Amino acid sequence: MKPLNNQPLTRQRKIIHVDCDCFYAAIEMRDDPRLQGKPLAVGGSADRRGVIATCNYEARSYGVRSAMASGQALKLCPDLLIVKPRMDAYKAASREIHAIFRDYTELIEPLSLDEAYLDVSDSPHFAGSATRIAQEIRRRVSQQLHITVSAGVAPNKFLAKIASDWNKPNGLFVITPDQVEDFVAALPVGKLHGVGKVTAEKLARQGIRHCSDLREWPKLALVREFGSFGERLWSLARGIDERAVQTDSRRQSISVENTFEQDLPDLAACLAQLPELLGELERRMARLDGSYRPGKPFVKVKFHDFSQTTLEQSGARRDLDSYQLLLGAAHARGNKPVRLLGVGVRLVDLRGRHEQLELFAP
């Protein structure tokens, strides 16, 4: 194994990213075979301004997507069946899947109920073959839970996550160390973690459409153009990602952000976006385990000139009225057109509190 782009030689990691295929919808179709083959979504009802949590591939063919308002989804697909989430069923299935993971490694970083990173660098199974471990995990999930998962195998988390999406649904894609350089060079910059539509358009205006284009820019030039994110872009364009799989990373907050194609001109336009953002926030909150308690709500506003502000309030509720008040106060700090809105909640780590109590108990 040779160093990539003059990077120091380190122990090669073997990372698997596992992602369930339309997880909530897959559980619903498994438990009610009458739903098979029909456009199906899991989410809130349209008459109560509900939001789609996830949908199956039949629904996606009509343009239905997660975080979409249920009313809009029904306009795209009038025959769409929308069922209420059954979080207990999804959590039970997630526990079964994680039990399978633990047969191969204890180095597991859950991202949500339906996806996780696994570090199998030192796993003794299948003579240390990450590819064969991923194949076996996929086979066992299919056999035991009767749903499908896609998996990506790569030397780091960044590439493993891209790989898991490469052959979805029900797919496996492997990027070996000697394939990294050529694979990443051809990768569109829109595939890079953190590059949304607006950043991709900004890169395109600079003539940067693929990572091979990005590699032509010195690191300092990228930092001048994109701030601290420029350094991350420089590394990702070379397939470099040193992040370890975090087996016990405890969240400080949970949030939802949206960058708009057209700047929102005033506060009224911003307020109109809140229900959809809050619907997605509630969906993400529902995926947390019981070791967290929601704390202070907060909003983030990034104005058209890239200045931004975040405002939170202790004791405030997590309802629409409270977020409207927070957003109004945050918007007044700049009173300019808005390019990005975010809503979130600080989290209280109940497990950490319990451990502290035990530590200091007499």
Name the catalytic one among 106, 115, 231, 276: 115
Answer yes or no: do 208 and 268 share one domain: no
Residue 97 lies in a domain: yes
Report the C-alpha gap between 287 and 61 in whole angstroms: 26
Q: Is residue 10 part of a domain?
A: no
For position 351, what pLDDT does the model report? 66
In a domain, 8, yes or no: no
Q: Is residue 4 part of a domain?
A: no
Q: pLDDT, tens digit, for every residue of 302-321? A: 888 878 889 988 878 888 99
Last residue of a domain, one of 69, 86, 103: 86
Q: Whole-angstrom Cα distance, residue 67 to residue 273?
A: 12
Domain encompassing residue 167 = 15-21+88-177
For residue 74, name the pLDDT band (cuts at 50, 70, 90): very high
Q: Report whether 114 belongs to an annotated binding site.
A: yes
The string of DSSP letters for 132-194 reads: HHHHHHHHHHHHHHS--EEEEEESSHHHHHHHHTTT-SS-EEE--GGGHHHHHHTSBGGGSTT
Kind plus residue range of the DSSP H or E element containing 224: helix 219-226
> What is the enclosing helix (H) or strand (E) of 228?
helix 228-236
Tell me whether residue 306 is in a domain: yes
Is residue 345 scored above 90 in pLDDT? yes
Helical (H) or strand (E) element with 40: strand 40-43
Do 295 and 226 fall within a single domain? no
Q: How many residues does the chain have?
A: 362
Residues 40 and 76 in one domain: yes
For residue 2, tell me if it sits in a domain.
no
Please report which confidence band the pLDDT of residue 359 belongs to, taking 50, 70 and 90 as the band edges.
very low
Is the pLDDT at 9 greater than 50? The verdict is no
- Alpha carbon 262 to its chain's center: 23
Phi, then psi, of 90 in degrees rounded to 5: -70, -40
Distance CA 177, CA 8 (A): 14
Decide the pairing of beta strands 308-312 and 292-303.
antiparallel
Q: Is 28 a catalytic residue?
A: no
pLDDT above 90 for 362:
no
194: Cα within 13 Å, side-chain hemisphere: 12
Q: CATH number of the domain that 208 lies in?
A: 1.10.150.20
Same domain, 134 and 220: no
Kindly report the number of other CB atoms within 10 A of residue 164's CB atom.
25
pTM to 2 decimal places? 0.69
**Boundary of a domain, candidates 64, 86, 108:** 86
CATH number of the domain within which 336 lies: 3.30.1490.100
Q: Is residue 45 in a domain?
A: yes
Domain end call among 177, 203, 223: 177
Tell me 125's DSSP state.
G
103 annotated to bind ligand: no
**Is residue 50 located within the same domain as residue 143?**
no
Domain count, the chain: 4
Residue 267 parent element (H or E): helix 267-286
What are 142-194's pLDDT values in tens digits? 999 999 999 999 999 999 999 999 999 999 999 999 999 999 999 999 889 88
345 by DSSP, 3-state: which? Answer: strand
Whether residue 75 has pLDDT greater than 80: yes
Q: Helices (H), strands (E): how many in the chain?
A: 14, 12
Same domain, 198 and 166: no
Q: 144 and 112 in one domain?
A: yes
Residue appearing with tokens 């405890």: 250
What the block records as the tokens of 35 is 């739903």
- Residue 248 — pLDDT band, cuts 50, 70, 90? low
| Residue 102 burial (10 A CB sphere; 0-12, 13-18, 19+) | exposed
Q: Are residues 93 and 81 in the same domain?
A: no
User: Do residues 140 and 198 both lie within one domain?
Assistant: no
225 and 258 in a common domain = no
Beta sheet of 338-349, edge-to-edge order: 253-264, 338-349, 292-303, 308-312
Residues 36, 131: one domain?
no
